[in-house]
Structure 1
Amino acid sequence: MTARWGLLLVNLGTPDAPETAPVRKYLDEFLSDPRVIDIAAWKRWLLLNLIILRTRPKESAEAYQSVWTERGSPLLFHGQDLAAGVQELLGEEVKVVLAMRYQTPSIEAGLAELRAAGIDHVVALPLYPQYASSSTGSTVEKLYAEAGKHVDVFTLSVVPAFYDHPAFVGAFAEVARPVLAEAKPDKVLFSFHGLPERHLRSGEVCGRACFQPGCCDSIRKENRTCYKAQSYATARALAAALELPEDGWEVAFQSRLGRDPWITPYTDHRINELPEEGVKKLAVLVPSFVADCLETIEEIGIRGRDDFKEHGGEELTLVPSLNAHPAWVEAVAKIARQYAPSPEAS
């Protein structure tokens, strides 16, 4: 049976190896993206080549070594497992392919594989729950650029941010529930990847409303594409699904880079402060990622845990990401089907 449509799962990317040269190559491609470091091209080049790429690749390579396994990068092999699980669930009518925005397997290669299979309708699912120009926006731009290189451009449907989709929330809650039951934390911290504040202020939809009192209390017309507002919406939905008390959870933002102001509160600051506030057992969920990676395993599970204990905490529990959990496999299939062509259209 020939596949009727294609599903391209796209995550951000990972180095090919936990060594300085491959990490430098990855960072060079990633940080050269004008949607990631959104400054003048010449300033970005100087920043990268005179400062960041001189020291950070070695430091990051050491961090990657702490999370690398016999199967390689967790982000990559969890993605491969997810693609295989979704393929098995959806069956022969769909061809499922994994791609990365940066490095390998590339979006170009993924689309070429689907084209070679004779598919002319592709559903692209960027695996970022919340919208950000530096992740979703960059991926969508790349998807259309690569698809548009051909004379015959196939139909491309892009799945939007799924930050509050019941299937996503339900899957994450299913993963977290038994972990929290065993850990019995005093507080749950929902940690999201951070962004420079200027990324939010420059937004065409929410720029003026951002950082005003109550701006993230609900999703409205003026903040519907705001990363921070979507992050808080995810946290509220997960807290409700997990039946957490109002004073039993909070939100923070991690992984900041450089000296510019980033979204606050900062995760590393809150991890250090919470023991002084009486929190001895802390559980951390990172629902801006759907697969465990450097930012979850090393930043939270290793460095974060050490910092928490150094400041008087007893135990920090990192709740695993969705990875290829059966509930997430089912959720991805369900979300993708909503954007698939109808049988009559094939």
Structure 2
Amino acid sequence: MGKQGVLLVNLGTPDSPSTSDVRTYLGEFLMDERVIDIPLVLRALLVKGIIVPFRGPKSAKLYKAIWSDTTGSPLMHYSIMQKDLLQERLGDDYQVELAMRYQSPSIESALNKLRDAQVNSIKVIPMFPHYASASTGSVLEKVMELVRKWQTIPNISFINSFHDNELMIEAFSDNGRKHHPETYDHILFSFHGLPQRQLGKSDHSQKHCLKVENCCSVLTENNKFCYSAQCHDTARLIANKLGLPKEKYSVCFQSRLGKDPWVQPYTSVVIEELAKKGVKRLLVFCPAFVADCLETVYEVTVEYGDEFKELGGEHVQLVESLNDHPLWIDSLEGLVKGQIN
């Protein structure tokens, strides 16, 4: 009998922190029509004419700040660890491959390895707990685009969301406990942002998203595919595990790009408001990321940390991502074997 194939896919990282490699990465990433969902001509003018030329050198400096001479980018380092640990856990009956949606290793190369191994099936797991067209949707579309050209297509299944996975929630909570949340004035659950228009597109009824007060605060049948609603649900579940009262934590969204309105409240705005209220110590979870990366290691620790201190705060502490946490590997094993929760 053949093996079962597993494809783990994360977002991606430049091949190096050089400006040229960062520009190449940004170009591929931002030209994805699910990421910047505007007509192709306008997208090309914006990305190739403005964002990549000007943002490339700035982003390269940030990547250099987190890059290791021995292990490269944190995202790649931890993604490889996750792949290897999952392979060890699953054993010889499975073949686990790692891919990045943008840059290397490519989804095509990983799929070809699984095809060459003649696996009986492929389980695709985008490494994003919360569904969004710009992340999970893009991965699934790329896989289908490539596989449809194969003459022989094995059974293929997809995980499109695991925002409420019990083992994942416990792993995040366990990481948080190490920092003694009770010693902090406030807890932030900071998720990656999305343009508001993309949230609206996920509302098939067109009657709920941004039209009902506090439309994302509780997960319902009307917003079950909504990225923001899933994020709020994850924050609630972690907060419950840690015994945090509602007034002790806030949900917010980071990494805003451009002038269009994104999911709110913005992390930077929340930090400013908390500083004005006299909050001195912040503990920050980033549950949209299963591996530490630029958005956690630098954006939260350095950028938000410096901003908070300038506003009168004292300390911002990042809760490390799932990385190689044993419970996270347990969670991945369960996802592979069909144990969603």
Q: TM bucket by the smaller chain?
A: over 0.9
Separation in structure 2 between the aligned mates of residue 142 and residue 339 of structure 1, nearest angstrom: 25
2:204 matched to which residue of 1? 205
**2:142 is the counterpart of 1:137:** no
**2:101 is the counterpart of 1:101:** yes
Deviations 1:179-214 (A, max 9, x none): 235x82111000000011111112243643112213
Unmatched runs of 5 consecutive residues or more in structure 1? 341-346
Task: Give yes or no for contact 2:196–2:263 (8 Å, CA) kept in 1.
Answer: yes
1:285 matched to which residue of 2? 285
Task: Give yes or no for contact 1:157–1:339 (8 Å, CA) kept in 2.
Answer: no
Aligned with 1:217: secondary structure? coil
**2:258 is the counterpart of 1:243:** no
1:14 matched to which residue of 2? 13
2:161 matched to which residue of 1? 161
Aligned with 1:195: secondary structure? coil
Give the Å deviation of 1:272.
2.4
Task: Give yes or no for contact 2:2–2:120 (8 Å, CA) kept in 1.
Answer: no
Aligned with 1:38: secondary structure? coil
Separation in structure 2 between the aligned mates of residue 55 and residue 324 of structure 1, nearest angstrom: 35
**2:77 is the counterpart of 1:42:** no
2:313 matched to which residue of 1? 313
**Counterpart of 2:164 in structure 1: which amino acid?**
D
Task: Give yes or no for contact 1:206–1:225 (8 Å, CA) kept in 2.
Answer: no
Aligned with 1:8: secondary structure? strand
Task: Give yes or no for contact 2:203–2:209 (8 Å, CA) kept in 1.
Answer: no
Separation in structure 2 between the aligned mates of residue 3 and residue 75 of structure 1, nearest angstrom: 31
Deviations 1:215-270 (A, max 9, x none): 12322221110011111011101100111112110100000000101111100121
Give the Å deviation of 1:172.
1.1
Separation in structure 1 between the aligned mates of residue 2 and residue 172 of structure 2, nearest angstrom: 30
Aligned with 2:105: secondary structure? coil
Separation in structure 1 between the aligned mates of residue 273 and residue 220 of structure 2, nearest angstrom: 32
Give the Å deviation of 1:115.
1.1
Deviations 1:153-193 (A, max 9, x none): 12111012000111211111112111235x82111000000
Change (3 A) 1:132 1:115: same
Deviations 1:316-344 (A, max 9, x none): 1000000111111111111211179xxxx
Between Structure 1 and Structure 2, how many residues are aligned? Answer: 338
Task: Give yes or no for contact 2:193–2:255 (8 Å, CA) kept in 1.
Answer: yes
User: 5 Å matches for 1:205-244?
Assistant: 205=204, 207-211=206-210, 212-244=212-244
Task: Give yes or no for contact 1:147–1:154 (8 Å, CA) kept in 2.
Answer: no
1:174 matched to which residue of 2? 174
User: 5 Å matches for 1:45-64?
Assistant: 45-64=44-63
1:150 matched to which residue of 2? 150
1:343 matched to which residue of 2? none
* Aligned alpha-carbon RMSD (Å): 1.4
Separation in structure 2 between the aligned mates of residue 250 and residue 310 of structure 1, nearest angstrom: 21
**2:245 is the counterpart of 1:258:** no
Give the Å deviation of 1:120.
2.6
Task: Give yes or no for contact 1:206–1:226 (8 Å, CA) kept in 2.
Answer: no
Give the Å deviation of 1:31.
0.4
Change (3 A) 1:5 1:294: same
Task: Give yes or no for contact 2:203–2:222 (8 Å, CA) kept in 1.
Answer: no
Change (3 A) 1:260 1:172: same
Separation in structure 1 between the aligned mates of residue 120 and residue 51 of structure 2, nearest angstrom: 41
Unmatched runs of 5 consecutive residues or more in structure 2? none
**Counterpart of 2:245 in structure 1: which amino acid?**
P
Give the Å deviation of 1:44.
0.5
Aligned with 2:230: secondary structure? helix
Q: Which moved more, 1:68-77 or 1:207-216?
A: 207-216
1:344 matched to which residue of 2? none
1:66 matched to which residue of 2? 65
Task: Give yes or no for contact 1:123–1:339 (8 Å, CA) kept in 2.
Answer: no
Give the Å deviation of 1:3.
5.4
2:31 matched to which residue of 1? 32
Separation in structure 1 between the aligned mates of residue 14 and residue 180 of structure 2, nearest angstrom: 32
Percent identity for Structure 1 against Structure 2: 44
2:76 matched to which residue of 1? 76
Give the Å deviation of 1:278.
2.1
2:126 matched to which residue of 1? 126
Separation in structure 2 between the aligned mates of residue 64 and residue 148 of structure 1, nearest angstrom: 35
Change (3 A) 1:180 1:241: same
2:327 matched to which residue of 1? 327
TM-score, normalised with respect to structure 2: 0.96
Separation in structure 1 between the aligned mates of residue 318 and residue 262 of structure 2, nearest angstrom: 23
2:184 matched to which residue of 1? 185
TM-score, normalised with respect to structure 1: 0.95
**Counterpart of 2:18 in structure 1: which amino acid?**
E
